[in-house]
Structures are given as structure tokens and as C-alpha cells.
Amino acid sequence: GLGLVGIAILSHGGGTSGSAGGSLAILCGALFWAGGAHLAGRLTLPSDLFLSTALQIGLGGAMSTIVAVVSGERMAEVHFLPVLAFLYLMLVGTMAAYVAYGYLIRHTSPIIASSCMYVNPVVAVALGALLLGEPVTSATVIATVVILASVGLSFWFDYRRRGLA
């Protein structure tokens, strides 16, 4: 819950707030990810991490494509380099990340494995500030502290639950 509060502050804080629909999509994505992480630890998944990853990515891609078509999104033209970049990110970046996540889900708790969901926005904001000169507002700093505190508390509660702390 604390991580979601941090994401909400990050989405709506500062002078340039996003749309309500975009913020709702981000928060729903975070909730669905947490729910999926919770279920992944309890469901019987294919033992092969690559097969499991391919099924998850394929289903997610199919659902996203259906939503895009229903909402009226269309591609006017396709260029070679963007398609090449997309394929690289899909095959190398996504597969590597999902295989690593699948390994974590199977060998750690869902709390630890899904902590990346909250750290990723902080990394994105930091990279935006460092590489693109995006402004860092007081709301950004507060959101970052709240998000990192939620991750720290998640780790602490997980260690306590398992009797390690």
C-alpha cells in the first residue's frame, strides 16, 4: 500500500501532473503485478522458465493488442530501425527480465521478487533527471523516499515473517 501511495505521488506530484487515466493505468498495473506475483507463488507453472516466460509475454502481448485495436490505435507506417529496436527489447530485454523474475518468484517470496515494481519508477526518474535534464521536484523526492521506504519495509516484514530478523 505504501508503494502505491509513492507511485501516486510520483504520478501526480509537481507542476506537470499526468492524466487521471494514465495514473489509474499505472496504479492498476501495480496492483495486477502484485496480484500476479502472489498467484505465481501458488500456481503450478511450467517447469521450464523460458516456456513460462514465453507464455506470459505472449498472453500479455495478445491482451495488449486486443485493447489497442478496440481503443482505435493504428500504425500508419513502420520503419526498420524502430522495429529492430522493438524486437531487441522484446527478445533480449524482456525475456532476460522475465526469466530472472521467474527465477526469483520460484526461489524467494513474492514480496522480494516484486520489489522491482516499485524501484523501477525511481530508476526511471533518476535516469530522466541525469540524462535528459528532467526536473526533480519536492514531490518527486517525497515519492522516492516513500517508495524506497515501502521496499525496505517489505524486505523487513518478509524477513520477520520467515524468522530471519
* Residue type (1 letter), 60: G
Separation CA 21–CA 41 (nearest Å): 30
Domain of 85 in residue numbering reads as 2-161
Alpha-carbon separation of residue 117 from 53, 147, 157 (angstroms): 17, 10, 17
Each residue's pLDDT tens digit in the chain (165 positions)?
A: 777 778 777 777 655 556 777 777 777 777 787 777 777 767 777 777 778 777 777 888 888 889 888 998 888 888 999 989 988 887 787 778 777 877 887 787 777 777 777 777 788 888 989 999 988 888 888 888 888 888 888 888 877 877 765
What residues contact residue 165 under an 8 Å CB cut-off, 6+ apart?
A: 156, 159
Burial of 14 (0-12, 13-18, 19+ CB in 10 A): middle
* Structural domains counted in the chain: 1
Separation CA 86–CA 100 (nearest Å): 20
* Residue type (1 letter), 133: G
Whether the model clears a pTM of 0.85, i.e. scores above it, the answer is no
